[in-house]
């Protein structure tokens, strides 16, 4: 049987304020097209360069929720990791992400309620050091008591 760290899990008993995890991902044209297909959001600002050039963005952009999904990936795979349940997420979109951008997604523990197994995380995504998404998540962390 795999232990919690091998499964990609940090249990509530081991979480500390200030813990931080991150990932990097290049957002590709294929990512944007697949997200449009899965979400059914086919807004041409994401898919049609000719259309997008005449918008405020002056070119195609990734779906905001595709970028925010990278926060979910850090939470679900790293901190707390496998077995985590999302309870809430606030997001503010500050700047667009374009095809080819390298996105850095990071979460940091800001508060822990051990009795309720709840963890609050500050979340952000950035491109070339500029924050493009900020927010806060509240999650239910896994526990060794329930393994």
What's residue 2's pLDDT?
Answer: 37
Q: What's the total number of domains in the chain?
A: 1
**Residue 7: inside a domain:** no
Q: Which domain holds residue 116?
A: 17-146
For the cut 60, the answer to whether the pLDDT of residue 81 exceeds it is yes
What's residue 147's pLDDT?
Answer: 58
What's residue 36's pLDDT?
Answer: 98
What's residue 91's pLDDT?
Answer: 98
CATH number at residue 41: 3.10.129.10
CA distance linking residue 101 with residue 128, whole number of Å: 8
User: Region 52-77: what's the mean pLDDT?
Assistant: 98
Q: Which tens digits make up the pLDDT trace of 27-41?
A: 999 999 999 999 999
**Residue 102: inside a domain:** yes
**Residue 2: inside a domain:** no
Q: Which tens digits make up the pLDDT trace of 86-129?
A: 999 999 999 999 999 999 999 999 999 999 999 999 999 999 99
**Residue 10: inside a domain:** no
**Residue 12: inside a domain:** no
For the cut 80, the answer to whether the pLDDT of residue 47 exceeds it is yes
What's residue 15's pLDDT?
Answer: 98
**Residue 8: inside a domain:** no
**Residue 1: inside a domain:** no
Q: What is the 3-state secondary structure (H, E, C) of the chain?
A: CCCCCCCCECCHHHCCCCCEEEEEEECCHHHHHHHHHHHCCCCHHHHCHHHHHCCCCCCCCCCHHHHHHHHHHHHHHCCCECCCEEEEEEEEECCCCCCCCEEEEEEEEEEEECCCCEEEEEEEEEECCEEEEEEEEEEECCCHHHC
Residue 115 half-sphere exposure toward CB, CA atoms < 13 A: 0
**Residue 99: inside a domain:** yes
For the cut 50, the answer to whether the pLDDT of residue 140 exceeds it is yes
């Amino acid at each position: 049987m795999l232990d919690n760290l091998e499964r990609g899990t940090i249990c509530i008993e081991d979480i500390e304020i200030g813990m931080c995890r991150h990932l990097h991902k290049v957002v590709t044209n294929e990512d944007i097209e697949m997200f449009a297909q899965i979400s059914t959001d086919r807004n041409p600002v994401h898919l049609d360069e000719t259309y997008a050039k005449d918008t405020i963005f002056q070119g195609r952009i990734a779906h905001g929720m595709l970028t925010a999904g990278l926060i979910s990936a850090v939470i679900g795979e790293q901190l707390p990791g496998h077995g985590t349940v999302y309870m809430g997420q606030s997001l503010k979109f500050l700047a667009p992400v374009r095809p080819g951008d390298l996105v850095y997604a990071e979460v940091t523990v800001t508060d822990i309620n051990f009795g309720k197994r709840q963890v609050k995380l500050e979340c952000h995504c950035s491109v070339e050091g500029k924050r493009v998404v900020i927010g806060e998540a509240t999650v239910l962390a896994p526990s060794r008591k329930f393994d």
